[in-house]
Structure 1
Amino acid sequence: MRIKQKPEDFSVKESYRFDEAANGRHRVYLMDKQKLSTFDAVNRLITKFGLKPGSISYCGLKDKQGRTEQIIAVDGADVDMQEPDLRLKFLGRTDKALSARNITSNRFSVTVRALTHDSLAPLNLATAEVNRLGVVNYFDSQRFGALKHGQGFIAKDIIRGDFEAALHNYFARPSELDRTEDAKVKGFWRDNWGQWDARVPFEGAKKYHRILRSLRDHPNDWMRAFLQIDSDYRAMILFEYQSYLWNEGVRRYLQLLLPREHMFPMRYQAGTLLHFRDASPEVLSTLRDATFPLVGPDSTFSDPKVAEAMAWVLGREKLKLADLRIKNAERLLYFKEEQRPLLMSPHKLVVGRTQNDDVNRGDIKVNVAFTLPPGAYATLVIKRLFHFEYTEDTKDEVRASQRPRLVATERAEAHVEAAQAAKREAEGPSRHRTLASRPMRLARPPRGLDAPSAPEGRSDRSDRAGSSRRDERSARPARAPAPPPAFTAAPVPEPEIPLGFRAKQQKRKDVKAEARVEKAEKQRLAAAKSVKKQKRK
């Protein structure tokens, strides 16, 4: 099975409510985006319209891989965006910023591809199980993007108090799977870590200007620099690790309640999740009413099995609850405790009729639609329904799926290079000319039996000297004459390449250093002359 092969394969529409106020300071828009995360879309709006960080509020994060609709509120500014991947529709005004309280549910429509007719029978059974039992309300792979891109859990660095490592993992560790300009910026700072005055030759560096300004002014204050990250993203960094602890705690909790034969594992980005196919009425009633805590430093547990499960997880992570309190930054970096429902029940679950798959020839596809409460993951429902053949993509498979987009990018870059070459050619001879535009010069052939006669104007003395040398050579033992070498093209010098920023900086430093040495030498000579004059007097 395959999902998200096309943007329209994964669609989500937010059901929302807000108190409309005619003169409210917050403008509310319906944001329609595709192939963009909520953070990417919001940052694009902030950059384009010069808004302050945190001036755009929203109800929740929506998946990057798909087409989604959600509401946002812009504080004190009117904006408009009508681009192919990001469009806004004005809805009204309100007095308050948006939050999770403004969302009631999400309606999903997912096209599942690359199926066979043999998949239909187990799909019907799994649909009945989901309707009867629900789905464990785990956080799915998209919550753990930092793991996917090789950054690890940055929150662990923060808990240890190592803010330098946290900053390095945040903006100096490019992903193998990322082909955007942001990865180039991260690669630059990976190679130039500590050289905060270096100039980044990429536009994407603007995203990190507040961090870099702090590091230039206070090079060793790593916590101060880390706190320049947008507050919403800082909270997500902590919530990512908190979500992992929740997943692991629930997994252990299910092991304490259910027999092994009722459960089955499923791989995801951060490890393995456990789902169940059956449960006794008593256990099922307990699970339906249960919540499980997103832990903080002051968490307490009334259920002994919950306490046992979390003690097991924290022990494996070599942590105590008190370690979740970030020293010297308790008000800005903190793990917020809250209860999360242990199960979710998809409402209005509809599995459509099968159709021929227009992307994977010879296979079939099916559309699945359902409604979920805020904070629940639609991908988990899909994986639970098709658990009998779902597998998590490897890095190689992700790269292969990116290949068509990379080819398009490479072609675009080739077109840009060709246009630049044509422009240089049109500007006429310059130091940027290519080798093909330079005339080839042939080296003068060596004089020998087949060499042409000396040009007119050669002096008799040179001829006599040449004949005497030939007489001396004739007295030596005869050797087989070596064939004259073929005519070869004279080596053409390499075209001069414009210096990069670092090379130019180094060149300026060298020039200044030479000027200082020369000035010091002149001063020394002038001082010596003045001493001689004084001696003469």
Structure 2
Amino acid sequence: MRIKQKPEDFSVKESYRFDEVDSGRHRVYLMDKQKLSTFDAVTRLRDAFGLKPGAISYCGLKDKQGRTEQIIAVDGADVDMQEPDLRLKYLGRTDKPLSAANITSNRFSVTVRALQPESLGPLNVAAAEVNRLGVINYFDSQRFGSLKHGQGFIAKDLIRGDFEAALHNYMAKPSELDRTEDAKIKAFWKENWGRWDARVPYEGTRKYHRVLKSLRDQPGDYLRAFMQIDADYRAMLIFTYQSFLWNEGVRRYLQLMLPREHLFPMRYQAGTLLFHRDASPEVLRTLRDASFPLLAPNSTFSDPKVEEAVRWVLGREKLQLSDLQVPGAERRLYFKHEERPLLSFPHKLVVGRTQADELNRDDIKVNIAFTLPPGAYATLVIKRLFHFDYAEDSAETIRASQRPKLAEAEAAAAHEPSSRRGPPRRDADGARASSRSAPGTETRRRSSGDRDTRAPAGNRDARGAGAPGRRRTGPREVELLEPASGRARTLAAKAPAPAKAAEPAAPLGFRERQRQRKDARSAARAETEAKRAAKAKPAKSRKK
């Protein structure tokens, strides 16, 4: 099975409420985004309109890999954004920032692909189990992107008081899975750590400007520099580790509550999760009403089994409750106690009719729709429904999926005429984009408001070229990434060698087929005209 092959495959719409106040200073917008995290979308808006950190509030974080709708509030400014991957619709005004209290539920529509007909029987059984038993309300893999990208739990560095390690993991630890320019910036600071006056030869360094200014002013004060990171992102680093402790504690709690034969494991980004496939009526009533705490130094427990599970997970981490604080920044970086329901129950769960999968030949697809309360993960519901067929993508799988995109980019760059070739573009994933986008991933020139993508004035030469790595010193050159190493290499446009295009992983869409037919017709016309010109030239010479 596969999910999120296309942005439309994963759709979420936020149900919300806010008190409309005509004279309120906060403008409320419905934000429609795709292939963008909430952090990325908010950062783009803030940079485009010159807003201060914290000027944009929202109810919660939405998945990057999909198309999502959520509300945001902008403090004291009118904004507008109408781009293919980010659109705003004005809703009204309110007198206070948005928070989690403004969201009531989320409605999900998920297309599950690459299925076999024999999957339908187990799916119906799993749907009945989910309706009766619910789904364990874990935090899913997308909460732990720092682990996927090799940064680890930065909150653990903060707890130890090692603020240099925390800052290094934040801005100087590039991911081998990251194809965006941010990975190059991280690699630069990894090589130049401590040389804070070093000139970064890449665009997109705006997010680190405040941190670098602090380090230049006070080079040894890493806590002060760390506090220049966006406050919402700092809080997320703490919450990520809290989420891991919650998952591990709940896993142990289930082992104390249920016999082994009623549980089954599933791998995820941070380890292994346990789900229940059955429970006695008494245990099920207990689980329905149970909650498990997000841990903080002041956490207390009324259930002995909850307390036992907490002690078990803290023992594995070699911590005590009193250790869950950041020395020297207790009032600005802190763990907050919160009770989280143990189970979530998808409402209005609908399993659609099966259809032929146009992206995976000989397979079928099915749409699953349901509503979840705030904070619950739709991907966990999908994993629970298809537990018999689901496998978490490994780092090797992700790298393998990126190679065709890079191969297509190289092929397009080699064949495209040098007069049309411009700086390498990126798709919504950050991968290098070909000159012709695949269906549903159209690219465009960025508007003047997208300031974060333009090179600073100091990075331009006298002719207006970009950063030093992109200056023109002869024939036009295109910078490409080597798929395996991620190192940059240069492909000259002069007499390019034909590159073998990567074999597509799925059948081409309608629009791509139309483009190929158009290109073929154009090539045929050009060849015919060339032959006519070749025949006409000797005849003209004989006439003379």
The CA deviation at 1:297 is 0.8
Whether 2:182 is the aligned partner of 1:182: answer: yes
Q: 1:42 to 1:417 in 2, by over 3 A?
A: farther
Whether 2:241 is the aligned partner of 1:241: answer: yes
Q: Secondary structure at the match of 1:145?
A: helix
Residue 446 of structure 2 corresponds to none
The CA deviation at 1:416 is 9.7
Q: 1:414 to 1:226 in 2, by over 3 A?
A: farther
Whether 2:205 is the aligned partner of 1:205: answer: yes
Residue 123 of structure 1 corresponds to 123
The CA deviation at 1:415 is 8.5
Alpha-carbon distance in 2 for matches of 1:182, 1:422: 20
Alpha-carbon distance in 1 for matches of 2:32, 2:475: 47
* Amino acid in structure 2 at the alignment position of 1:68: T
Residue 231 of structure 2 corresponds to 231
Residue 76 of structure 2 corresponds to 76
* Amino acid in structure 2 at the alignment position of 1:33: K
Percent identity, aligned pairs only, is 78
Alpha-carbon distance in 1 for matches of 2:92, 2:422: 50
Residue 493 of structure 1 corresponds to none
Residue 258 of structure 2 corresponds to 258
Residue 30 of structure 1 corresponds to 30
For 1:284-363, list aligned pairs within 5 A. 284-363=284-363
Q: 1:89 to 1:330 in 2, by over 3 A?
A: same
Alpha-carbon distance in 1 for matches of 2:115, 2:421: 48
Q: CA RMSD in A?
A: 2.0
The CA deviation at 1:380 is 0.1
The CA deviation at 1:326 is 1.4
Q: 1:411 to 1:47 in 2, by over 3 A?
A: farther
The CA deviation at 1:104 is 0.2
Alpha-carbon distance in 2 for matches of 1:331, 1:183: 32
Deviations 1:466-522 (A, max 9, x none): xxxxxxxxxxxxxxxxxxxxxxxxxxxxxxxxxxxxxxxxxxxxxxxxxxxxxxxxx
Alpha-carbon distance in 1 for matches of 2:257, 2:288: 13
Contact 2:294 2:339 in 1 (8 A): yes
Between the two proteins, the alignment pairs up a number of residues equal to 429
Whether 2:280 is the aligned partner of 1:276: answer: no
Residue 169 of structure 1 corresponds to 169
Deviations 1:88-122 (A, max 9, x none): 01111110100000000000000000000110110
Q: 1:201 to 1:419 in 2, by over 3 A?
A: farther
Alpha-carbon distance in 2 for matches of 1:397, 1:379: 19
* Amino acid in structure 1 at the alignment position of 2:330: E
Q: Secondary structure at the match of 2:3?
A: coil
Alpha-carbon distance in 2 for matches of 1:416, 1:364: 36
The CA deviation at 1:401 is 2.5
Alpha-carbon distance in 1 for matches of 2:351, 2:375: 22
Contact 2:55 2:75 in 1 (8 A): yes
Deviations 1:292-323 (A, max 9, x none): 00000111111110000000000000001111
Whether 2:91 is the aligned partner of 1:94: answer: no
Q: 1:410 to 1:181 in 2, by over 3 A?
A: farther
- Gap regions ≥5 residues in structure 2: 424-471, 477-544
TM-score (norm 1): 0.78
* Amino acid in structure 2 at the alignment position of 1:308: E
Contact 2:413 2:421 in 1 (8 A): no
* Amino acid in structure 1 at the alignment position of 2:356: N
For 1:452-471, list aligned pairs within 5 A. none
Q: Secondary structure at the match of 1:80?
A: coil
The CA deviation at 1:151 is 0.4
The CA deviation at 1:328 is 1.3
Q: Secondary structure at the match of 1:361?
A: coil
Residue 221 of structure 2 corresponds to 221
TM-score (norm 2): 0.77
Q: 1:413 to 1:47 in 2, by over 3 A?
A: farther
Deviations 1:170-220 (A, max 9, x none): 010011111111111111101110000011111211110000000000000
Alpha-carbon distance in 1 for matches of 2:121, 2:387: 13
Residue 439 of structure 1 corresponds to none
Residue 458 of structure 2 corresponds to none
Alpha-carbon distance in 2 for matches of 1:272, 1:10: 24
Q: Secondary structure at the match of 1:314?
A: helix
Q: Secondary structure at the match of 1:8?
A: helix
The CA deviation at 1:407 is 4.1
* Amino acid in structure 2 at the alignment position of 1:237: L
* Amino acid in structure 2 at the alignment position of 1:393: D
Whether 2:43 is the aligned partner of 1:39: answer: no
